A and B are shown apart, each in its own frame.
Chain A
Amino acid sequence: MKKTLSIEEIKEAMKKDSYICDNQLAFVIYLSLAMEKPLLLEGEPGVGKTEVAKVLANILGRKLIRLQCYEGLDAASTIYEWNYAKQLLKIKTVDACGQSYHLEDIFTDEFLIPRPLLAAVRSKEKVVLLIDEVDRADEEFEAFLLEVLSDFQITIPEMGTVKAIHKPLVIITSNRVRELHDALKRRCLYHFIDYPTPEREMEIITTKFPDINKDLAKKIAGIMASLRGQDFFKKPGVAETLDWSQALTILDKADIDAETMDLTCGCLFKFKEDVKRFQDTKSETLAQADAVFEG
């Protein structure tokens, strides 16, 4: 495995994988790789937090192990679980053959079902571990993560401690539905992914859709910047920008007018109130969008 990538290399490689990242993000990723520390990414929904992990796994040539968090997530579905049924069968078989057995015999690798965290720690090759939307899981769940994040090891009472052969690159994302516990935060590097600047957003659009008209991309970026300055219940993220750009490409539009905005508002807003607000303020939005790049 070669030495850690430099900041520029990270940026370039991610760009090749059509992820445009700014210097700050590239730097934090570099630091996380160099220090072998987990990286906690926060930011509004749809700014590409999860995507970072996917792209990183790709450019580093590592396997991505993803743990999607949800309420009620427990140790059995995240770390490991004993295969009870198989253990029972084993005991039965041994019994039927009249052999004797030790209790340790049924607490071996053979009967262990590794879940994402254990899989990431035990993996023979280097991996990227993505713990997605950690704020959705219960607070208790964070406690499970602590051992993994600080020492990259997992303790299984019946077997002992499993230490990581290669420290995985851990990316944790959070939408800040609730505040994370300090113990978790202080084990990670922190970065907040903000909405991109209009220039960068334009770059993102043109990278994802190389065929798109440059002026249209510019206009889309301008409108997005203007929309994010307004008061919506849920502001559109980069994911929405891309959906919208795609929709406009499919419709073969060269320019955005009020009618197009009406037709495609479903790409940008998912709440009735927001859609209404968007339609009410179309003209102002368009006017502001033109000023974005000039200003």
Chain B
Amino acid sequence: MAHRRPAQFLSEADYQRYAHNLIERILLFADLLRKNRVPVHTAKELDAIAALQHVDISNMRQFYLTLRSTLLVSNRYFPVFDRLFQEFWNNEGDLAQPADGTPEEQDKKQNPPEKQKGGKENPSEQGESSKKEDNSEKEAKLGTAEDSEEEGASSKEITVPTYSLTERLREKDFEDIKPSEFAEFDDLFKKLRIKVKEKRGRRFKTSHRGRTIDLPKSIRHSRQKGGEIVKIFTKEKKPKHSKLVLLADVSASMDVYSTFLIKFIYELQKYVPDTETFVFSTRLKRISDILSHHSIGTALSLLSSQVLFWSGGTDIGGSFLEFNTLYGGKLRKRNRILVILSDGWDTGDIETLKRQMAIFKKGFKKIIWLNPNLKYENFEPLCMGMAASMPYIDYFLPCHNLKTLETFIEIVQKI
């Protein structure tokens, strides 16, 4: 390594040691960043070290900028970086913005982070850095508990007011949502990015992006041009996605949730092709067609006029039996995922339910059960219907707010 500046002042031996020490310190610093959940890739560490030979490392500002531009990948991490940099390299001055102290930095100066209490300022000693490490480890552990708090602090710069509002709504239990918030909520539903993972199937379709030449089509097209292949068509594998079958419980016990869940299903059906939806309480009804209306308002009013058993009792087993006899043959396929939305409160026959669940298990690719009661921390599937179904379920997930529904989508994408 040839650092221009220090070489002028130090003897060769000293310089070697110095450079070595510096590189070590940079690696330790990168490690400290990682412990504070700033992603630093090994390639970036190498960059940082390589960059040193081009800069004047005795100039703290240049050194700071070098590390910042090489190690970081987003300005989201600037505040954390600044804080750690000042602590680790014992820098007093404000390097980030000399003439322009951003509010965040001023805040920081007024209430220095607790972390500073930990390590005593002591230049470039191994002991000190390990102490810092301990500290940061502690913080990392603490971090998991105070996750949201720390996140909030570090992302202060990029948050816009609407963000926090959405965030709040996303985590709000459907139960607590006031009618005044319905409109915002509907917007949020629309923004849900529902996308099922596409797998390449075995069949082909013509596509500009495709890499294989579609010879039959190219030749067919050439016939118009007197047998000359002028345009070469390409094809790609047709995407194949898992299809969904949704069984939604609309009995009285699910009342608070069913409207929201239906809205969710409406969006789901719009984006995931070939989704089949059924509602049940004591009986079962297919509502895929109703939900395929362009306006959700129309769909909901049609639902209320056509589904007569809304808010009724629950006979899960009976409804599942009805599903299996009427639609099972057609819909029970290994490329379909069965999603059941229910709290599991059942007044029907448990044996029937068990039998139907066993049939489901055999017929479907995966069974996902969404239960709003899972939000309670020590919830256990004790009610008869739930307990009987548990052994057959692949994924048991909560569904009481938007965030949990997003988790559900993520899981569907992975299957």
Enumerate chain A interface residues (CB-CB to B < 8 A).
23-24, 27-28, 30-31, 34-35, 37, 40, 42, 74, 84-85, 88, 179, 182, 185-187, 189-192, 197, 199, 231
Chain A residues with Cβ below 8 Å from B68 are: 190
Stretch at the interface among B43-51, B116-124, B330-338, B400-408: B43-51
Chain A residues with Cβ below 8 Å from B100 are: 197
**Count of A-B residue pairs with CB < 8 Å:** 65
**Distance from B142 Cβ to chain A, minimum over Cβ atoms (Å):** 26
| Contact, CB under 8 Å: A74 / B55 | no
**Alpha-carbon distance between A74 and B160 when the two chains are bound, in angstroms:** 33
| Contact, CB under 8 Å: A31 / B75 | no
| Contact, CB under 8 Å: A182 / B73 | yes
With contacts A27-B62, A42-B75 taken as known, whether A74 is within 8 angstroms of B47 at the C-beta atoms is no
| Contact, CB under 8 Å: A35 / B65 | no
| Contact, CB under 8 Å: B230 / A189 | no
Enumerate chain B interface residues (CB-CB to A < 8 A).
39, 41, 43-44, 47, 50-51, 54-55, 61-62, 65-66, 68-70, 72-75, 78, 97-100, 160-161, 208-209, 228-232
Nearest chain-B residue to A27 (Cβ)? B65
For the complex with contacts A40-B73, A88-B229, A187-B43, 12 further pairs of A-B residues with Cβ separation under 8 Å are A27-B65, A28-B69, A34-B54, A35-B47, A35-B54, A74-B208, A74-B209, A182-B41, A189-B47, A190-B70, A191-B69, A192-B78
Task: Return the 3 tightest CB-CB contacts between A and B, nearest first.
Answer: A192-B75, A34-B54, A185-B73
| Contact, CB under 8 Å: B99 / A24 | no
**Alpha-carbon distance between A42 and B157 when the two chains are bound, in angstroms:** 14
| Contact, CB under 8 Å: B230 / A186 | no
| Contact, CB under 8 Å: A35 / B50 | yes
**Alpha-carbon distance between A182 and B70 when the two chains are bound, in angstroms:** 13
| Contact, CB under 8 Å: A42 / B74 | yes
Chain B residues with Cβ below 8 Å from A31 are: 51, 54-55, 65-66, 69-70
**Alpha-carbon distance between A191 and B74 when the two chains are bound, in angstroms:** 8
Chain A residues with Cβ below 8 Å from B39 are: 182
**Distance from B77 Cβ to chain A, minimum over Cβ atoms (Å):** 10
**Distance from A39 Cβ to chain B, minimum over Cβ atoms (Å):** 8
Nearest chain-A residue to B103 (Cβ)? A229
**Alpha-carbon distance between A92 and B309 when the two chains are bound, in angstroms:** 73
**Distance from B32 Cβ to chain A, minimum over Cβ atoms (Å):** 19
| Contact, CB under 8 Å: B43 / A186 | yes
**Distance from A149 Cβ to chain B, minimum over Cβ atoms (Å):** 12
| Contact, CB under 8 Å: B47 / A37 | yes
**24 A–B contacts, CB within 8 A, in A order:** A23-B61, A24-B65, A27-B62, A27-B69, A28-B65, A31-B54, A31-B69, A31-B70, A34-B51, A40-B73, A42-B74, A42-B75, A84-B232, A85-B230, A88-B229, A185-B74, A186-B44, A189-B69, A190-B69, A190-B73, A192-B74, A192-B78, A197-B97, A197-B100
**Distance from B208 Cβ to chain A, minimum over Cβ atoms (Å):** 7
Chain B residues with Cβ below 8 Å from A191 are: 69
Chain A residues with Cβ below 8 Å from B73 are: 40, 182, 185-186, 190
**Alpha-carbon distance between A199 and B54 when the two chains are bound, in angstroms:** 30
**Alpha-carbon distance between A84 and B230 when the two chains are bound, in angstroms:** 8
Chain A residues with Cβ below 8 Å from B209 are: 74
